[in-house]
A = this chain, B = another copy of it.
Amino acid sequence: MRTGVRLSIEQHLPIAGQPPPERADAARNRARILAAMRELLIERTPCAISIDDVAAAAGVGKGTIYRRFGDRGRLMQALLDEREKAFQAAVLSGAPPLGPGAGPCERLIAFLCALVDQLEDVGDLIAEVETGQQWLVSPPQRFRRLHVRVLLSDARPDLDAEAIAEALLAPLNAESYHHQRRHAGHSPERIKGALQALTTALLT
């Protein structure tokens, strides 16, 4: 008995947590779309780039973009994927105080400040990512919540770390942050200072 049939069955069965790889043309189009997006970002702000613009620049149809990325938010998110990987690595295994080695309070402050820096670098892109409810349950955001929650309960096991983590991260939503920077006119350092004051008051 040949193994062909069994292989065929295996390929038709969905493997939990491992969606089958993209077809060659699909992967090519994904790369084209991301490349076109990066080109457009050189000369325009993200909010001035429509999906139709990206489709035209990439030489694909609009439907292709939505099939590959789901919605506008996840397309923007894909552009930040590299940066996010590096960020998570720095947090999980980088140098203190962001990485392990420092105390929880110190690490938490460093983490929140790093998020501010990130918003300064690519805040307008992150703002586009957050359009739609998808962002709040996305892997990057889940990572942020988990990390804050762990540091909090590490320093103060008596607190409701999960609920407080939400409160500490909320000011770093793109919309809230943009308001603090633009409308209120606060500097990044000032925003960091407020978060640091909250954190130290809570954990010391």
Partner of A197, one of B160, B175, B191: B160
Copy total for this chain: 2
19 contacts across the A-B interface (CB closer than 8 A): A133-B179, A136-B179, A137-B183, A159-B197, A160-B190, A160-B193, A160-B194, A160-B197, A162-B186, A163-B186, A163-B191, A164-B197, A166-B179, A167-B195, A170-B170, A170-B171, A173-B176, A201-B201, A201-B202
Interface residues of A (CB under 8 A from B): 133, 136-137, 159-160, 162-164, 166-167, 170-171, 173, 175-176, 179-180, 183-184, 186, 190-191, 193-195, 197-198, 201-202
Query: Quick check: B173 and A190 within 8 Å, CB to CB?
Result: no
Q: Which of B166, B194, B195 contacts A176 (CB 8 A)?
A: B166
The SS class assigned to the A binding surface is: helix
State the CA gap A201–B200 with chains docked (Å).
Answer: 9
Q: How far is the CB of A164 from chain B (nearest CB, A)?
A: 5
Given contacts A136-B175, A137-B183, A160-B190, 17 further A-B contacts (CB under 8 A): A133-B179, A160-B193, A160-B194, A160-B197, A162-B184, A163-B180, A164-B197, A166-B180, A167-B170, A167-B194, A170-B171, A170-B176, A173-B175, A173-B176, A198-B198, A198-B202, A202-B202
With A183-B136, A202-B197 already in contact, the answer to whether A171 and B160 are too (CB < 8 A) is: no
Which listed residue, B137, B166, B184, B197, touches A166 by the CB 8 Å rule? Answer: B184
A198 engages B167 (CB within 8 Å): yes
